[in-house]
Amino acid sequence: MTIPVQRPYRGVFPVAPTIFDANGNLDLDGQRRCVDFMIDAGSHGICILANFSEQFVLTDAERETVMHAVLEHVAGRIPVIVTTTHFSSAVCAARSRQAEAAGAAMVMIMPPYHGATFRVPEGSIYEFYQVVSDAISIPIMIQDAPVAGTPLSVDFLARMAKELANIRYFKIEVPMAANKLRGLIEKGGSVIEGPWDGEEAITLMADLDAGATGAMTGGGYPDGIRQIMDPFFAGRRDEAMQAYARWLPLINYENRQCGLHACKVLMREGGVIKSEMVRHPLQPLHPATRAGLIEIARQLDPVVLRWGALIALVALARRLRRSARRCRPICFIYISPPAACSFKGGLGACEQRSLLLIPYHWQIQQSAECPAADPRRLIRNQLQVLEPPEDRGQRNIGHHGARGPRAGAEMRTRAKRDTLAGVAPDIEPVRLVEMLFVAVRRAEHQEHALIGLEDDVPDRPGLCDPPRRHSDRRDPAGILLEGL
């Protein structure tokens, strides 16, 4: 499988959670939606089967199932790092070969450890990584984290990078991470292809200042981490620092209060996944802790809290489009929030934005006045009309064969309710409409661009040509619809 970006890998590579249903079984459909969201939210790549993926509660067969499901679904859109950690050199090498064959861009491996006391000396650690490096041709990321309980000195890490062909990336999560990154870059020089930050980005700014080129964070808000890293690498450190200060309360709450639960809670809250289940003996978050996480997140308006509503709207537009009595284009209204990143997942390659989709014939004002309309009133008005304009005023057949405008209105109300329930069965219709309001209301810049499509909306996202515009208003972001 061809990896879509060139090495060295840089940017935001969050850890994808493993998605379970309410009974604790693998939810592969939810896993795919999770991955689509993470791509849409701006991830440059993702990591699977890490500790934040609950890899320690998976059977070997489940690991393989998740790995293949994710790699096949990503299909080369972004690089995928597969965690292959195991105490056994042979097992770790076999896992790594399997990951490479399946299309992994990199493997991430902790030094061998087991429990609180089983450790091996430095010489054995070197041989362990040598065995794995000799078994594959893709890069290895060493995860230097306290959970392993294995000290890895800067000199030792630099030596392995110089002597072992595929030791090229380092995720540093120990105390004083910035100092270690700085020392590793100085000692290793050009062979240190990827000095990376970790631990939910709690030390991100210090690590970036020390020379970090990547960040492996939790999976809940890649768009927020992009708001820090993008300006930093563009030379706008002051802007990056402001973004870091803005997102730090959420980063801290995840790191200190929630751990691996955080991204699942956010994804469930935003309709990305149906269940935030973690496997026993792990326990769900206390309701008060969960509420605190959501409260902080809502102040930042991350994509995760809007994504489910946007995808439901895609389905709603498709369903209504197919049920229309006449061929009608679809009207897409985009509302630009402050941040921007590329959409390559469920929503397509366009600027990050809140999205409202309505059938074109729902437009009450389809001229230049429409972009300036109040978003909440616009949605409310559109949801009250289901029939094409030329059919309004005609006699309509209502319930039990009754005729007249009132009967037609009753039919339209029932159809609206049934449609909303059908596209998002796990979301109550009232809640779905509420999510639509939130998606629009939270956008800071109320600038709309009207875009129409003549063709039907496909079942699943796929690349398509830029749509024909039905307005003279230019979209400054140059939206390209991929996935609608």
Q: What is the predicted pLDDT for the residue at 308? A: 79
Length of the chain: 484
pLDDT value of position 314: 58
Band of the pLDDT at 316, cuts 50, 70, 90? Answer: low
Q: What is the mean pLDDT of residues 466-471?
A: 31
Single out the residue of 284, 50, 113 nearest to residue 293, CA to CA: 284
Percent of the chain exceeding pLDDT 70 equals 63
Residues whose CB falls within 8 Å of the CB of residue 212, separated by 6 or more in sequence, listed in order: 172, 181, 195, 196, 197, 204
User: For residue 295, what pLDDT is reported?
Assistant: 96
Residue 349 has a pLDDT of 29
Residue 320 pLDDT > 70: no
Higher pLDDT, 395 or 25: 25
pLDDT-derived band at 318 (thresholds 50, 70, 90) equals: low
Q: Is the pLDDT of residue 151 over 80?
A: yes
Number of neighbours of residue 293 by Cβ within 10 angstroms: 22
Say if residue 434's pLDDT is above 80: no
184-198 confidence digits (pLDDT tens): 999 999 999 999 999
To the nearest whole percent, how much of the chain has pLDDT over 90? 57
Phi and psi at 196, nearest 5°, equal -120, 150
119 pLDDT band, cuts 50/70/90, is: confident
For residue 38, pLDDT beyond 90:
yes
The whole-number pLDDT of residue 315 equals: 59
pLDDT per residue over 326-363, tens digit each? 333 334 433 333 333 333 344 432 333 333 444 333 33
Mean pLDDT of 273-281: 95
Tell me the pLDDT of the chain averaged across its residues: 74
Task: Let me know: does 407 contact 397? Beta carbons within 8 Å.
Answer: yes
Predicted TM-score (pTM) of the model is 0.72
The residue ranking higher by pLDDT, 445 or 241, is 241
Per residue, the 3-state secondary structure of 359-428, as one string, reads EHHHCCCCCCCHHHCCHHHHHHHHCCCCCCHHHCCCCCECHHHCECHHHHHHHHHHHHHHHHHHHCCCCC
pLDDT tens digits, residue range 254-267? 999 999 999 999 99
Q: Specify the pLDDT at position 114.
A: 86
Model confidence band, residue 149 (pLDDT cutoffs 50, 70, 90): confident
| Statement: residue 312 has pLDDT above 90 | no
Please identify which residue in the block is written with the tokens 């064959």: 101
At 147 the pLDDT is 87
Q: How much is the average pLDDT of 403-422?
A: 43
Q: What is the mean pLDDT of residues 406-435?
A: 44
User: How many CA atoms lie within 13 Å of 277's alpha carbon, on the beta-carbon side?
Assistant: 16
pLDDT tens digits along 376-393 = 444 444 443 323 333 333
CA distance 83 to 13: 13
Residue 400's contacts (CB-CB under 8 Å, 6 or more residues apart) are none
- Residue 138: what pLDDT? 98
pLDDT reported for residue 313: 59
The DSSP letter of residue 364 is: S
Catalytic residues: 171
User: Which of 190-194, 274-278, 398-402 is least confident?
Assistant: 398-402
> What is the mean pLDDT of the segment spanning 30-43?
94
Give the C-alpha separation, 403 to 476, whole Å: 48
Could you tell me which residue, 65 or 314, shows the higher pLDDT?
A: 65
